[in-house]
Amino acid sequence: MAKTWMWIAVVLASAALLGGCSSEPDEQDQRQTPEKKQVKPTPPKITPLPGPVDPDAGGDLVRRMEGETPIEVPAVPGPWAQARVGQWVKFRGASGISLTRKVVKVDADTVTLAVSTPIAGKEITQETVVGKLVTTGQRAHAIPAGAKWSAATVRIGDRDVNCRVATWQKSVGGEVRGLRMYLSSEVPGEMVRSAEVDPQGKMKIVWELVDFGI
């Protein structure tokens, strides 16, 4: 008899649980529950795209500059100022790759160089144009004004080349590196060697001239 009453209690409890979870209200609940209005979502505000750029923007700055006295910055001979057709230089990089620059055209203001390097067993050549003159203060070899200069002799093949050497420091990714550039007027384009110097003073050659023709 006790088991029977226990079974009835379980059934009633289950029925009450299912009834409480039902999603359909009875008639009394339907009468008491006000009808819900559907609310349409508010569309997001879109920022309009800017209009066309005013071609006269910055005109005030231009007008102020018009009152200033223009000056001519003097030009000085650059690394290729004395270049002649047929001259060439050949470099070897730190990874063993070679690079050759050859003068193929010279006019009053510019020099055209054919730059060749072997890639995947093929010689790839592209032409680049450089000016004979550079303005005073322009860093033709990316050498900063505060560099220290010295002299050195570098052996290229069977020739001794007299060089002027620039040494400076540069911060790369938070690390200070020493850089050194060897230049010589005896070589087309002047560049003889570029190198990095570690804090212990050990030099790693990045590009080095291995031969040249004048």
Which amino acid, residue 69? T
> Domains in the chain, start-ordered, CATH in brackets?
75-213 (2.40.360.20)
From CA 181, how far away is CA 207, in angstroms rounded? 10
Which DSSP letter does residue 109 get? S
Q: Helix (H, G, I), strand (E, B), or coil: what is residue 20?
A: helix
Q: Are 56 and 155 in contact (CB under 8 A)?
A: no
Q: Is there a contact between 205 and 94 (Cβ–Cβ < 8 Å)?
A: yes
The predicted pLDDT at position 127 comes to 97
- Kindly report the pTM of this predicted structure: 0.64
pLDDT at 30: 46
Distance CA 62, CA 167 (A): 40
Q: Is there a contact between 29 and 19 (Cβ–Cβ < 8 Å)?
A: no
Regions of the chain short of the pLDDT cut 50: 1-32, 44-57
